Chain A
C-alpha cells in the first residue's frame, strides 16, 4: 500500500469514526456500533451515490431503520421508549463495539485487496456481511439484498 493510500485511509478513518460516534451519541448509544458506521458512511460527501442506485438506501433511511429495529424489538415485549441523546464529545475508535471493529477491518482488507484507498462503499459492503445484530436487521427491514450491498465493493 502506497504512502498516499495510507494517508488517505487514516484521514478517512478519523472523519468516519468521529461522525459515527456523533451519530451513536445522537441515538443514545455510548459506544459506536456497526450501524453507526454505516449511517456515517452513507452520509459522507465523498460517497459516490451512483454506486448505490437503485438501492433504497441513504443515511436518513438507514438511520430510521435502525431506530425502528429497536422500537420493534421493544414492542415485541410490550415496551415503548426511546434512548435519550448523549451530550459528550466523540472520542474516536477507542469506544466501538466488536462488530464495528470487525466491519472496519473487513473494509480495510477489501480496499487493500483492490490496492485502493478505503471508501464509504467498502464500509457498507463489509457491514452487509454481518449476519446478526442491529445492522443486519436494519438492512433486512429495508428489504435490501445483502448480496447487492456486498457487490458495491467489487
Chain B
C-alpha cells in the first residue's frame, strides 16, 4: 500500500456513484463524492420494495443499504448540492465546484421534521426518500421565496435553518475520477396523447415507485384509494426512433410487471392490464415469474394511443382488439406509463468537463485517461447492473492509480 492515501472523485450520488465510492474506500482510497441534488441516492432511492410474499430481486433495498454504508464510511466525504464548474488535468484532476447554499445546517439538524410538517404543502421544504439522508430535509430556494422567511427560519427548534446561507466554491484534487451522473427519466409529456401532466391519474412508473414507497401500497393520486382497474403502457419513450430513442431501456418490463403483481397481491380482486410490444426477460427466474404474471395479469400486444377523461378521475383507453382487430374502449382507474431511461440531460457538458465521448444515443463513453464510467450515465441499466459496473469502474480506477493490496 502507498504511504499517502490516494484520492478519488466520484461524480453522482446515485446507486452507481455510491457503490463506486464505497468500493474505492474499501481499498483505502479517500473519496470525494459530489452530488448535485440535496440528497444522496439518485433516482433509485425513491424506488419501492416490490416483493409479494417473496423478494422479486428489484434491488431497491440495496440502494438504502449502500447509502447507509456510504454515509457511515469516514473515508468518503460527501458534498451535496454541488455542480462541477471546471476540471483541470495536469497529472492530477482538480475540480472546481459550485456548491449551493446549505440552508439547513447539517450539524444542527436532528431530522425532527418540524420544518417539513409546517411547510410541506408550500414545497419550500422537501424530504429525502431515505432515513439515511442527512439532513433528511432540504429547503427549496425557489419555493421558499413565496413563504414567510422569518416563519420558515424560526420553525426549526434547533435553529438549523439559515436562509441567508450563501453559495460557496470548493476545489477538489483527485488522482482519478468516476463519473456516475445517471440518467434522465423520459419526459412523458413528449407523448401528449396519454395526457400525462393533464390528468392526475396518469402517472409514470417512477412516480408509482415513489407512491408505493411512501404509502405502502398502490393508490390513485386523486383519491388515495386502491385502483380497481389499472393499465400499464410499456415502452413509453423507449424503442422509439421518432423520439430518437432507439433502445430498450432494460428496466421497464421488470418494474412494470413487478409492480403490477404487487397490485394483484395486495388486492386479488383488482384488475391489471399490461399493453406491450415485447416483454423483456429480466432476472434469473424470469420464466417462472412471467408465468405467474400471465396467470394474474391481462396482456395486450397493442400500444394504446388515446386516453380520454371519464367520470371520477377514470380514463378511457382506446386500442385495437387483438382478436377481432376492432377498436376497443376500456375504462381504467389508474394509468401507469412505463417510461424509459434517456441520457442525462447534461451529458454533453459532463463529456466536455471530463473528456468523455458520447455514443450515437447520447450516453457517455470512456475516452480520457483516469476517468471511468459507472451506471446509467453509460447506458440503460437496472440496479444490480449499475452496481456491477460501478465495482468494475472502481477496480479500473484502482489500477489506474496503482493501488493494490
Q: Do A and B come from one complex?
A: no
